[in-house]
Structure 1
Amino acid sequence: MVDRNLFREFQINDDDLVAVLGEDFEVPDEVYVKETVDVNEIVTGKVLRINGDEVLVDIGYKSEGIVLLDEWDEEEGEPEPGDTVDVLLEDVADTHGLILLSKRKADRIREWEAVTAKHGEGDVVVGEVLRKIKGGLLVDIGVNVFLPASQVDIRRPPDIGLWVGKDIECLILKVDESRRNIVVSRRKLIEERRKEMKDKLLTKINEGDKVKGVVKNIADFGAFVDLGGIDGLLHITDMSWGRIGHPTEMVSIDEELEVVILNIDHENEKIALGLKQKFPSPWDNVETKYPVETKVKGEVVNVMPYGAFVKLEDGIEGLVHISEMSWTKRINHPTELVNIGDEVEVVVLGINNQKQEISLGMKQTQPNPWDEVAANYPVGKKVTGVVRNLTNYGAFVELQEGVDGLLHVSDMSWTRKLSHANEMLKKGDEVECEILSVDEERRRIALGLKQLEGDPWATDIPTRYAAGSIVKGTVTKITNFGVFVELETELEGLLHVSELTEDKVENAEEVVEVGQEIEVKILRVDTEERKIGLSRRLDAPIEELTAAAGGGGGGGDAKTSQELRGGTGGDSGPLFSMGGGGTATEEQVEAEAQVETEEEVETEAVDAEATSTEEETEVAEEPAAEAEAEAETETSEEVSAESEAEEVAEDPADEASDDGAEDEEKS
């Protein structure tokens, strides 16, 4: 055999061999030597020997090529002399013809060619996830391909690294021949398959069907369940008849569930699911289990500003409104009495099965103090209480815990005119009163303070201010019809303009001024109307003054004794009525007796609170009671104003009568 190295040494090519040995001579493979080398060409070579970490490979060229030993995988093992191997001819390193080869690159090119020959864009491939790289995963489908993180699943998982080491099925999205790069998507494949399954599923299922699914995602408001092609929403309110704080208390990711189809929205491809609907509703026989007025025990599961929710059993909760918690305590917030987790005894007040609502009461388990109010506080009884609140129409006096009475301003003093209760009382004062009336049904008690003393208009005032007596007083107010004179503290009389002097006076301010002390004569005291008539004509006998008041000369214009300006009848004339100190009319007494207590106002105003927000249900107790009292009861100032207005209206007529009498006398 011809030594091939000999030919190499002398660089004899094929043509020279044929010229020497003849045309019929065939050059053996082992002595064939390539004339040129094509870079980036894949060739087959034979392993000659291993020098350290280099492998010498004969590719049929005048010099051997070198492949690094680490390009053989551990699974392949080290090469042996004589092994054939495909390599990529990368470069000729120097002038001596040293050739650089790469087995790894050649393998990749062969693999790429094999994959692209078999698969194209849109094809489904299966590969193992090798590792997590920037932006996604590296998947081996015969060649390494890129799976972006956004294409791993329909909903991006929290950690895509969980897929490493798993075999996954993907769809080829793009093949880049120039870069030998392939991008795949698992999400696209799932979406296409789910669409087929969804279309099929929507034609099969109906509302009320029970189906199986797998929990794929959990949110605060519920869980998404994969029914096989489409996700349905299992809302938190449809998971259990009982109260749950979060869906994770009932379900977990990848859990298989049997659920009920509650609703199907074909247009928007949405399905509502239910879990609790697989079991009977505890509200089905609620009236039988919890009859109205029965006592039951329950657990406080939630507390709101307007009340507390009490669980009677799983799925059945009732509301104890704040107004139903205590007969006696004034509660600003339910936490003053109960907290979550407390076991309480309640009474069933009402059931609304349609709305699935139960009204409960805590105070009904205790005696109602108002049941014994009539016996404990009979009309006329003297009682002692503490002033709890003051308004312009009166004072609320606490007689016992949970029982208040209203002391109206008109029942505080016989003579004093009050515009606000704080002119006589202050919060915290202990005050003795008399029970004027009791309304058990409306839970109202009317109190009186002035009733503890005798009425001075029936005793002292007529005696101390007898008709004809001369007294001193201070001018407090001047009007167009007369002058108000304070005879003593809280007691005034009216000095009519016609009684200021012997002569006719057009303007009272020309004769007297506010603050001036003057002497006046008592014309008459009307105890019924609580008025005192005065005159400044001190020298004239009382009979003459009274006679002069009668018209003095007869004639058709003479007034009756009830209409005389010096008399006491009617609402006109020179008598002054103490609006705050007089006895209220029958209508006023009735209105005062019906003034609501603050607690009742609060109760009525917040009845709808359980279905509204806290801001909508808060009630200003005192203003509400005040508004009602003001609407129903005349204040002392209004009584006084009416009297004055009527006096003003009557005075011109009286003056006209006076003028007529004078003219008659002159004639």
Structure 2
Amino acid sequence: MAEKAKQAEVEATEAKEVKETPQVSEAQANPEKFLADFNWHNYQEGIDEVEDSQLKEFEKLVSENFVDTLDDEVVEGEVIHISDRDAIIDINAKSEGVISLNEFRYNPNLAVGDKVEVLIDVREDATGQLVLSHRKARVIKAWDRVNNAHDTGEIVNGFVKCRTKGGMIVDVFGIEAFLPGSQIDVKPIRDYDQYVNKTMEFKVVKINHEFKNVVVSHKALIEADIEVQKKEIIGQLEKGQVLEGVVKNITSYGVFIDLGGVDGLVHITDLSWSRINHPNEIVELDQKLNVVILDFDENKSRIQLGLKQLSKHPWDALGEDVKVGDKVKGKVVVIADYGAFVEVAEGVEGLVHVSEMSWSTHLRSAQDFVSVGDVVEAQILTLDREDRKMSLGIKQLSADPWTDITTKYPVGSKHSGTVRNFTNFGVFVELEEGIDGLIYISDLSWTKKIKHPSEFCAVGDTLDVVVLELDVEGRKLSLGHKQTTDNPWDKYETEFALGTTHTAEIAEVVDKGATIEFNEDIVAFVPSRHLEKEDGKKLKKGDTAEFKIIEFNKEFKRVVASHTAIFREEEIKNVKEAVKKAESQAAEAKPTLGDANEALQALKDKMDGKK
């Protein structure tokens, strides 16, 4: 630098001595050399020695060739030297700039003479050095290019760096942009890793300048191509047309097929003639298959496709030798409350109604007999090939238990059965599969008064029964439970005969009297007027007293007792004895008629409770 300054000083001195102003000066002829050799420090010292004309010429050259080093301005510079740590960049300023090689890590082949974009970071640091930044220049230029690509719709190249939550990170012009998972492709992506470390084309779809976020899309490019294909395909669609497609998505209700830019839906019912629980039993993702167009709307935006329609209907393939009465075997595919559907051949189903599953007559659900997936044997009951319907029966494969009912269950025979269900008037008891009988509520117990059968037993209980009546034609059995034991009222008829007396406690006081419990079977009623004691008071709840049976009805199980009758009869007996004694005394003393009347009146008053 000192040599350059000295040379400049000599040239200035020579110009002054010669006092010659050539038409084309050396500085004008070779400004770059002049500016490179010129030293500002020496220029300041010798400025007084330079004539005004030369000073003006020099200022003109500086304005034409020197860079106006403003902050945040990106300029192009040339690499003039590379050290172990830095690169020296010439930007035609008064001094060269320095940039760390870390900023060129993306370009390991950087060499002297390469042109690079730099940002003037510091015009002059503490040592007077010009500080440049290539990284900042790249960022500024990158944002300019990204903004321009967003405004013009330009397609840009980006490098997929890595996966992130919800998508991918893409390097676009050195800026990290976000690629949402939904914007990678028009079809769902199952393996994101296949795109990592790949260079792809993208479209800038969104820029958030406040947060410096960039969103790109690869799907937008595909959709543009697909839209063209879609219009061509839609224009050629016809019902019944067979097309090749690729399984794009599988849902619980059907399969979406990509027909080459146009999506169609194959409903689950149009996948197979057989019943299926989920479409993945038939197809899988990315599978190629042929489908037929069943229908579409006016705009042809919703296309209904079919797969099973490409094969012959199973009912048409059903052999002519299959007829009513044949035994068939099949798998239970669907169960409803009213019955079960059995697939006897692929796509051919028959219904087994719940009433045809068992000879039992009481109501039950199909789930009580079969489960989905069971293989059952049945008999064909009806067959309609035109309507493609078939009814089956399972119970027909076993003997009807009512055929020998009179032998197995004659009237008067005793058996055990299971309580199946109740009605308001009785209990249904199953003696065996297909043989049910009814126990009327009045035939449940000899002694208990039952308002509803559930008070006496529960579903599932085992009861001993006696066959009371048998109607073979009507397939009805009348059963009795109480008849399995002796009627205790036969014994009670003697034990609690009219006039017998028993000691008991008042159990409950009711409106018209009270009740007393002689034992667990007999609860007697005491009318209110028969609760009166000898002293005129009435018995209360919890009082223990002696009672006399004044009514006993075995048929209606009615017993009426009286406490009052106990001492009233005693009084009547005493009156009769007094009268008899008085008559005897009167016969001996021959009393007068008045005396006799007085004696009778006294007895009458006593009986009426008077003193």
Q: Give the TM bin, normalised by the shorter chain.
A: 0.5 to 0.7
Are 2:448 and 1:383 equivalent residues in the alignment? no
Task: Classify the secondary structure of the residue corresponding to 1:90.
Answer: strand
Is residue 57–residue 67 contact of structure 1 (8 Å, CA) maintained in 2?
yes
Partner of 1:237: 269
User: Structure 1 counterpart of 2:235, which letter?
Assistant: T
Give 2:109's aligned residue: 77
Q: Indicate the SS of the match to 1:32.
A: helix
Q: For 1:143-177, what per-residue CA distance to the aligned partner results, in whole angstroms no more than 9, with x for missing partners? A: 64735415444577567565333444434446899
Could you tell me which residue of structure 1 aligns to residue 254 of structure 2? 222
Note if 1:121 corresponds to 2:168: no
Structure 1 unaligned blocks of 5 or more: 453-470, 479-484, 493-512, 518-667
Q: CA shift at 1:435, angstroms?
A: 4.5
- Structure-2 change in CA distance of 1:305 and 1:352 (3 Å): same
- Aligned counterpart, 1:638: none
2-structure distance, mates of 1:56, 1:412 = 114
The alpha carbon displacement at 1:65 in A equals: 1.5
From 365, 377, 382, the equivalent of 1:345 is 377
Q: CA–CA distance in 2 between the matches of 1:223 and 1:238?
A: 10
Give how far 1:261 is off.
1.4
Confirm or deny that 1:438 pairs with 2:472.
yes
Residues 1:32 and 2:35 aligned together: yes
CA-CA distance at 1:214 after TM superposition: 2.1
Tell me how far 1:208 sits from its aligned partner.
1.8
Tell me the SS of whatever aligns to 2:316.
Answer: coil
Which of 338, 352, 373 is the matching residue for 1:320? 352
Q: Is the 8 A contact 2:97 2:130 kept in 1?
A: yes
Match of 1:489 in 2: 554
Shift of 1:53: 0.2
Residue deviations 1:294-332, cap 9 Å, x none? 111123345555544433233233343443333369896
Instruction: Mark the CA change 1:104 to 1:393 in structure 2 (over 3 Å): closer, same or farther.
Output: closer
SS of the aligned residue for 2:26 comes to: coil
- In 1, are the aligned partners of 2:441 and 2:453 still within 8 Å (CA)? no
Map 1:472-551; keep pairs closer than 5 Å.
489-490=554-555
Note if contact 2:125-2:131 (Cα within 8 Å) is conserved in structure 1. no
| Partner residue of 2:283 out of 219, 226, 251 | 251
Question: Residues 208 and 262 of structure 1 are in contact (CA less than 8 Å); yes or no, is this contact kept in structure 2?
Answer: yes
Is contact 2:246–2:257 with CA below 8 Å preserved after alignment? yes
1:53-72 map, 5 Å:
53-72=85-104
Contact 2:465–2:479 (CA<8 Å) still a contact in 1? no
1:347 to partner: Cα distance: 1.4
> What is the deviation of 1:266?
2.6
1: CA distance, partners of 2:255 / 2:110: 55
Question: Does the Cα contact within 8 Å between 1:223 and 1:233 map onto a contact in 2?
Answer: yes
Tell me the CA shift for residue 491 of structure 1.
8.3
Q: Which amino acid aligns with 1:92?
A: R
SS in 1 for 2:153: coil
Q: Is the CA contact 1:349–1:361 (under 8 Å) kept in the aligned structure 2?
A: yes
State the shift of 1:215 in Å: 2.1
SS of residue in 2 equivalent to 1:404: strand
Percent identity between the two aligned chains: 36
The equivalent residue for 2:546 is: none
Q: How does 1:601-616 map to 2 (within 5 A)?
A: none
2:402 aligned counterpart, secondary structure:
helix
SS at match of 2:269: helix
Which whole-Å CA distance do the structure 1 matches of 2:126 and 2:427 have between them? 119
Aligned equivalents of 2:139, 2:426: Cα separation in 1:
100
Mean Cα deviation higher: 350-359 or 291-300: 350-359
Task: Identify which of 202, 226, 239 aligns with 2:234.
Answer: 202
Is structure 2 residue 102 aligned with structure 1 residue 99? no
Mapped partners of 1:277, 1:261: distance in 2? 10
Sort the Cα spacing of 1:514 and 1:269 in 2 relative to 1 into closer, same or farther, 3 A: farther
Give distance in 1, aligned partners of 2:253 and 2:123: 68
| Unmatched segments (≥5 aa) in structure 2 | 37-61, 485-496, 501-523, 528-549, 566-611
Aligned equivalents of 1:101, 1:261: Cα separation in 2: 66
CA distance in 2, matches of 1:180, 1:444: 88
Indicate how the Cα distance of structure 1 residues 444 and 177 shifts in structure 2: closer, same or farther if over 3 A, else same: closer
Counterpart Cα distance in 1 of 2:498 and 2:149: 129
Structure 2 CA distance, aligned partners of 1:420 and 1:411?
A: 13
CA distance in 1, matches of 2:346, 2:294: 22
> CA separation of 1:307/1:315 partners in 2, compared to 1, >3 Å: closer, same or farther?
same
Check conservation: 2:120, 2:131, Cα contact below 8 A: yes
CA contact 1:436–1:448 (8 Å) conserved in 2: no
Q: Aligned ranges for residues 502-651 of structure 1 at < 5 Å?
A: none
- Given residue 385 of structure 1, which amino acid in structure 2 is its aligned partner? H
The equivalences for 1:413-424 within 5 A come to none
Residue pairs, 1:66-465, within 5 angstroms: 66-73=98-105, 76-80=108-112, 85-106=116-137, 120-132=151-163, 137-139=168-170, 144=175, 146-149=177-180, 151-154=183-186, 157=189, 162-173=194-205, 184-266=216-298, 269-286=301-318, 288=320, 290-303=322-335, 306-327=338-359, 337-351=369-383, 357-373=389-405, 382-386=412-416, 393=425, 401-406=433-438, 428-433=462-467, 435=469, 437-439=471-473, 442-445=474-477
Contact 1:384–1:399, Cα closer than 8 Å, also in 2: no
Q: Residues 394 and 251 of structure 1: is their aligned pair in 2 closer, same or farther, counting only changes over 3 Å?
A: closer
Partner letter of residue 555 of structure 2?
A: E
Equivalent position SS for 2:290: strand
* Greater relative contact order (Cα < 8 A, sep 6+): 1
1:98: how far off?
Answer: 0.5
**Letter of the structure 1 residue corresponding to residue 195 of structure 2:** W
Cα RMSD after superposing both structures: 5.2
Provide Cα deviations, 1:7-41, integer angstroms capped at 9, x if missing partner. 34798799999778854332343442466641344
Q: 1:164 to 1:16 in 2, by over 3 A?
A: farther
Q: CA 1:373/1:50 → structure 2, altered by over 3 Å: closer, same or farther?
A: same
Q: Give the secondary-structure state (helix, strand or coil) at the position aligned to 1:323.
A: helix
SS at match of 1:344: strand
1:307–1:321 CA contact under 8 A, matched in 2: yes
How far has the Cα of 1:108 moved from its partner? Answer: 5.9
Whether the aligned pair in 1 keeps the contact of 2:160 and 2:198 (CA below 8 Å) is: yes
Q: Counterpart in 1 of 2:575?
A: none
Counterpart of 1:6 in structure 2 is 3
- How far is 1:259 from its partner? 1.3
Amino acid at match of 2:554: T
When Rg is computed on C-alpha atoms for both structures, the one with the higher figure is: 2
- Give, in whole Å, the separation in 1 of the partners of 2:144 and 2:190: 35
Residue 213 (structure 1) shift: 1.9
**CA distance in 1 between partners of 2:377 and 2:222 (Å):** 56
Cα deviation for residue 264 of structure 1 reads: 0.6
Instruction: Please give the alpha-carbon distance, in whole angstroms, between the structure 2 residues aligned to 1:9 and 1:177.
Output: 53
Aligned match of 1:629 = none
Indicate the SS of the match to 2:344.
strand
Q: Indicate if the aligned counterparts of 1:147 and 1:184 stay in contact, CA closer than 8 A.
A: yes
For residues 148 and 325 of structure 1, the distance between their equivalents in structure 2, rounded to whole angstroms, comes to 61
Partner amino acid, structure 1, of 2:413: V
